[in-house]
Amino acid sequence: MRMPRIRMRPVLLLLSVSLAGCGHTQAQDRLKDLDRHISAQSWQNAAEAVDAIKGLRPVDVETCRAVARRCAYDIAGQIGDHNEYRDRYKWIARAMALLRIAAEQTDNDPRIMYDIGTTLSERIGHSQSSESRAFRRYFVVDEMKRLENLGAREVPQGDADNLRVALRCFQQVQRQLDVGDAAFRESFFNEVKPEEFYAQEAICKAHHAMALENEGIFGEQGRRYWELAWRSWQEHGNREIRTVEGQSVRLQEANGDYGFWMARCEFGTILDVLEARKQLYQASARYLAGDLEAAHRLFEAGFTKLIPELKRFPILMENDHFMTTLGRFASEYRTVRGSRKVTESPEFSAIDKMFDIEPEPVK
């Protein structure tokens, strides 16, 4: 006689809950172990703790996310000196591996996919520093290998760019939110502010344009990426969202950075700005190589083109981070002029003042 299946369901449910609770307890214990190893700066033991968490089933989503943050930010920020980029990157790679396993085991939980996207876009970054440039190179190699192991053939190298991969993650989360019910969306937005999430696609595109610029890619190719970013920010600004108070607002009103990013992307599409940035990039390279005559000539040409355009965008001049980035070139230009004993002029003084460069002491 066949046993009615209904009688088995409470037992299976209790067993499932028991196993899930056991997995959560084990994951929390391993997380405590990891925190102890981080405090002691015992990196080998920390790596073993991460591997142990990676192997636990069922996956505990919140623990995986917490461990990934510790790997990518806490440990990678502490380990080695500032020139040991490879050692730092290994911990970011550990975070990525853990998040990808968690995504696979949870049918691409949107919280996990969002964390993958932000780790790629924020932690690996957009070549804003020598560390970020190194991280981007390492990631392309790792991602190409990962895609090949998954059976992909002839993967374009551009598809393995960390910012493009991040963009695809954010777009996937967007699709999940579009088809999910109200409870699904509410659960996600309890953790992530709508104005922050919906800005990620536009930020990724702008950061990609910035990365190419920081890596020496200018001209029409650079302009095209800035135009894509500008359009994305325009679409982002016109999107309507519902705030936690239940009010419907456009994102350009809810996102305090909207005006800056629209101006930054428009600034990047101006051909004279692109040419000026190219000349400043080349000038910096000549300065570091000790060719002060060529550096002086290129700095002068670059700032001559850049300054009039920059003055048209007060919102950019009010942004400390943006001005600091350009200020590096102004500081190098100041050093070159001093080394070559160039007679100062009102134009030179205006550049120094604009970027808060201290004047050379009178000898």
* Nearest in space to 123 (alpha carbons), one of 170, 158, 77, 78: 77
pLDDT at 358: 67
Number of neighbours of residue 195 by Cβ within 10 angstroms: 20
pLDDT at 310: 95
- Ordered by start, the domain boundaries in the chain are 24-192, 272-354
CA distances from 154 to 151, 169, 358 (A): 10, 21, 52
* Nearest in space to 124 (alpha carbons), one of 135, 115, 134, 113: 135
The rounded distance, in Å, linking the Cα atoms of 64 and 58 is 11
CB-based contacts of 204, cutoff 8 Å, min separation 6: 117, 121, 163, 164, 166, 167, 170
CB 92 within 8 A of CB 135: yes
Please name every residue paired with 241 in a beta bridge, in sequence order, or none if there are none: 249
Q: How many residues are listed for the chain in this entry?
A: 363
In this structure, what are the phi and psi dihedrals at residue 340, rounded to the nearest 5 degrees? -90, 5
CB 119 within 8 A of CB 99: yes
pLDDT at 362: 43
pLDDT at 194: 87
In this structure, what are the phi and psi dihedrals at residue 196, rounded to the nearest 5 degrees? -75, -45
pLDDT at 9: 44
Number of neighbours of residue 131 by Cβ within 10 angstroms: 18
Please name every residue paired with 242 in a beta bridge, in sequence order, or none if there are none: 248
pTM: 0.85
pLDDT tens sequence for the chain (363 residues): 443 333 334 443 333 333 345 557 888 899 999 999 999 999 999 999 999 998 888 888 899 999 999 999 999 998 876 668 999 999 999 999 999 999 999 999 999 999 999 999 999 999 888 899 999 999 999 999 998 888 877 777 678 999 999 999 999 999 999 998 888 888 999 889 888 899 999 999 999 999 999 898 888 888 999 999 999 999 988 888 776 666 788 888 888 899 999 999 999 999 999 999 999 999 999 999 999 999 999 999 999 999 999 999 999 999 999 999 899 999 999 999 989 888 777 877 888 888 877 655 544
Give the burial class of 337: count Cβ atoms within 10 A of its Cβ; 0-12 exposed, 13-18 middle, 19 or more buried: buried
pLDDT at 15: 33
